[in-house]
Structure 1
Amino acid sequence: MRQQKKQQAELLREIQDDVTAWLAPEGFFTEGNHGESRQRWDTLHDLVETPTHLFLFLTRNAAHIVPKSAFDSTEQADAFTRAAWGYWNAARESAPSG
């Protein structure tokens, strides 16, 4: 059991990555050691906010996770979160109704 926990910890260290994330009217962007991604707002499945994180769901079970502690201040975290909500809501409002 102890060896298994050690292997899991090593695996976690391997997949952890310093990621830069930014927002634009076109979408949510990330860039890190393992590549980059762009997610258009109108293709996000859901946006969920907790007191400590912002989750940008790509599918029901997969999300980009943005820890609010990654920002230099609460004000920066709040501004990022407000912008994400604004862009996502605008994309949902402009989407054709089915």
Structure 2
Amino acid sequence: MTSPPFPREGGGPGSQDTTLVAPVLLRAQENIWASRAAEMAAIFMVGDGLIGLLQPRRHVDLWKDDALGTEKLVKPFVDRPGRRRLYALVQIVAGLALAARQKR
């Protein structure tokens, strides 16, 4: 009989005693959510940057009217695809740098 891949609590075949988790491990587990949030931000930055780099006019046009306040954010890029492409490169580099800093 082979042992199960995960230890079981409460007796029975393959059961093991469980021990308390060290506080350091709990802090590491809590930090995983910060790492995940940073990773999601990095993915967004790289993806948005790629779209802005490849399709700057279409991307800005999508967000310039009736877009819940983003009109002010994209105003510097309206009819300026070169400026949007430059910003896109900055977004991509920053997103990749953020992802590279993640430990897990």
Which bracket does the TM-score occupy, shorter chain normalised? 0.3 to 0.5
Larger relative contact order (C-alpha < 8 A, sep ≥ 6)?
Answer: 2
- Structure with the higher fraction of residues in helix conformation: 2
Highest Rg: 1 or 2? 2
- Structure with the higher fraction of residues in strand conformation: 1
Superposition TM-score, scaled by structure 2 size = 0.33
